[in-house]
Amino acid sequence: MNPPEPRRPADTDPPSDDSGASHHPGEADPRQAAREAAGAARVLVRQLGLLAVAGLRGAGRRGRSAGRAAGPFFAGLSARSRRSPDRSAPEPGPERSAAAGSWFARLRQRPRLAIGLAVVALPILVLAALALEAFATLPPLGGVVPEGGQRAITVESDDGRSFATRGAYRGERLTAPDLPPHLAQAITAIEDRRFYSHWGIDLRGLARAVWRNATGGGVREGGSTITQQYARLTSLTQEKTLRRKIQEALLALRLESTMSKQEILLGYLNTAYFGAGAYGIDAAARRYFGHGAKALTLSESAMLAGLVRAPSQLAPTRNFGGAKERADLVLQTMVETGAITRPQADKARADKLTLRTPPETPPGANYFIDMVAGDAKRLAGEAGDVTLRTTLNIDLQSLAQATLARKLDAEGDKKKVGQGALIAMSKDGAILAMVGGRDYEDSQFNRATQAKRQAGSLFKLFVYLAAYEGGYTPETVLVDRPTQIGEWEPQNSNNRFRGALPLRSAFALSVNTIAAQLGDEVGIPSVIAAARKLGVQSDLPNVPSLALGSADVTLLDMTRAYAGVLTGAPPVEPFAIHTIRGSAPQPLYLHEAKPATAALSRDVQTMMLDSLEAVVESGTGKAARLPGIPIGGKTGTSQDYRDAWFVGITPDMIVGVWVGNDDNAPMKGVTGGDIPARVFHDFVQRAQGILKGKKRPAPSAAKAERVPAGEISSGPVSSDVRGVAEVIDTGTLTIRGRNVKLLGVSGEGGALARQLARYLRRREVACAPDPAGGAMRCRIDGDDLASLILTAGGARATEDAPQDLLEAEDQARSERAGLWSRER
């Protein structure tokens, strides 16, 4: 066994640690301690290697003696071993052999002692072998480059409000002059109090973590130092194994012997993940607070320092309350370590922290964000971090998501409808709202832009447009009768025939036989040409059944086609991005509208719009009618009720709706005039106020309506009721023996009802009947109780609920509160 290497003389040691930490006389230099520890580790590994080799040789000698008694195979091995003796290890002398034999003999006489020694020795040998293997496969420092991920994208709505971010933020690398003192104090206080005194591995901190985890019933505290964490981030994978922990410790020793404390701390801060896609402290400062790390305040530094333990869970954009609690703990720890005084900590706690970025993106908007992220790459290339000013109207988007979800929740199971999609588009092609499916977290497939489904009668738009361009008019009469074109015999949905009909009525009632005759007379190539003129890009087969929508198309294609009729200047080019900005003052991309071309004659456009209005006035789309608003549209239903469509036009926008099932399973009798037309109706009805400039409250700011308590009658009016309420369900109360049904609330029982009961316990509720019906509006402390319940996700709103209650439910849906939580 080789002797340990001698220590260098004291006068050869570096005079001081260049980390900036002072060392008083008599104190140990952490860098020198790290070098000594690294040297000791190397010696230990060599000694373990020699012991392992000696053990193998001893096993070989025992094997030779055993071979003589065991048989020819082992004897052959012993003979070959004798022909190639290992002269590097001398045979033990007679005295040592006799002592060893006597020792083994005593162990044989005491089997329990032998077993005990084996139990103790085996883990040590296994650990030694594992340490040897970890040392032999030790990677180089800095061998792992953190993944860059996609570039950072900030997404703004049409009015400039930021509502989403994507990608990884990197920021600038922090240098020593830029490091705020309170930031270094905050991170070391919460992550590694003895950072400036240990030599890479803090045995005291490790023992403390082991003890707290053992007594706390789980992993409550980590024992890794900042140096170990930096070694893991830059040189190791994130696998949780003992081998990696050993390598982490060995690399930490190497880091401490080659880098200063300040270099290690800066490297860690520039590399660590702080949640919400921010890698490095400067990126985190810009991501959350809108400025670089050099300008961080004490309260901001405390919040960022608290994130590194659980960045995804504590990201302020997702969990501001949790991040604030963690920041308060960091400040308390800084007081305990003497980094700041208690008055300084109290002042920092009182500081108002304002996030400069949006909260977690509402799940439904992710379909739109996926689309614009792809467009940004195509339009601006790989230009670094960018900001997109999009066409999305946040209020319309929230309304679209809630309207479609409410209809599918209410009728989806009964009518076997699993999915839906919606697009709202302005006349110039700007996409105002997009819902690509029922739940983005369940499926990221965008049914508004990617799904190709049979359009059914929705496709008749192109048949009639080609006919009107060919000389037909809405007054032209064709006969609804049995029809055969080649071997194809189209049938009406009700299997009945109406006889002679003008084209306006045939279009409004969606008569299949007349559309088939019309397509045959004008020619399918003319129908295809009309569809191409309006912007349809899908494959369109030249077959007679195309007249009834046998081709697969997307909702986006069909919505833009109907927009072309409204404008009279097709094709309308859908777009979702106004501008793309990078770090330079000049935009990387600016949308430019193409000059309008009068592709449709005024007469043809007027006839087509008249036919579309007839569908809503007296045809299959009557469910879309709205008083005082001119509306045109067309329904579509594919064979066996597999797809149902409605595309409607108003003076302000074009809205396309599709419902169906991803597996193409039939629905239960759902036509385009059913759920799709009613979704259009509800969406457009509530969208009018938004389009006229009335902003809906943002989800984070929406509150229950407050009124002065005096507005609720306290006199002995027989129709009013006041008192302490008992909860039957979240929509029904009992007050002084009288059942009270809350207006617009479809109650829930179970845990939600118990939560409401705890909230109302011993508090007075005042209720008055709603003039429109038998339900009541109740208030507690001046707040509308129904709005409070719906905002918290304690119930669903009824379909006839007032608009303020529908908006309260919209808020709960977007925030996944209460019954809308995915955990339920």
Q: Which domains, from first to last, does the chain contain?
A: 26-136 (no CATH), 169-350 (1.10.3810.10), 364-451+554-696 (3.40.710.10), 709-820 (2.40.50.90)
Phi, psi of 252 (to 5 degrees): -60, -40
- Element spanning 371, H or E: helix 366-380
At 91 the pLDDT is 52
Q: Are 739 and 775 in contact (CB under 8 A)?
A: no
H-helix or E-strand spanning residue 729: strand 721-729
- Strands of 431-435's sheet, edge to edge? 431-435, 419-426, 653-660, 643-649, 632-637
Q: Looking at per-residue confidence, does 121 or 410 come out higher?
A: 410
Element (H, E) at 738: strand 738-741
pLDDT of residue 524: 97
The dihedral region occupied by 200, where left means phi > 0, alpha psi between -120 and 50, and beta the remainder, is left
DSSP-derived 3-state class of residue 735: strand
What are the distances in angstroms from CA 656 to CA 206, 232, 576? 61, 51, 16
Say which range, 156-170, 336-350, 393-407, 549-563, has the weakest mean pLDDT: 156-170
Give residue 40's pLDDT. 53
Task: Give residues with Cβ within 8 angstroms of 25, minimum separation 6.
Answer: none
Mean pLDDT, rounded, for 370-388: 84
Identify the residue with better confidence: 63 or 762.
762
- 315 vs 125: which has the higher pLDDT: 315
For the record, the structure tokens of 743 come out as: 């207006």
Instruction: Tell me how far apart the alpha carbons of residues 417 and 665 are, in angstroms, rounded to a whole number.
Output: 9
617, amino acid identity: E
pLDDT in tens, 141-200: 665 555 545 568 889 999 988 888 887 877 788 888 989 999 999 999 999 888 888 888
pLDDT digits (tens, 9 = 90+) for 480-522: 999 999 999 999 988 899 999 999 999 999 999 999 999 999 9
| Most confident region among 237-246, 248-257, 672-681, 801-810 by mean pLDDT | 672-681
CB distance 456 to 547 below 8 Å: no
Q: How far apart are CA 514 and CA 500, in angstroms?
A: 10
- CA-CA distance, 23 to 163, in Å (whole number)? 50
Sign of the torsion formed by the C-alpha atoms of 789, 790, 795 and 800: positive
Average pLDDT, the chain: 81
499 to each of 78, 457, 496, 513, 516, how far by Cα in Å?
A: 107, 19, 10, 11, 15
pLDDT, tens digit, 9 for 90 and up, residues 307-320? 998 898 899 988 88
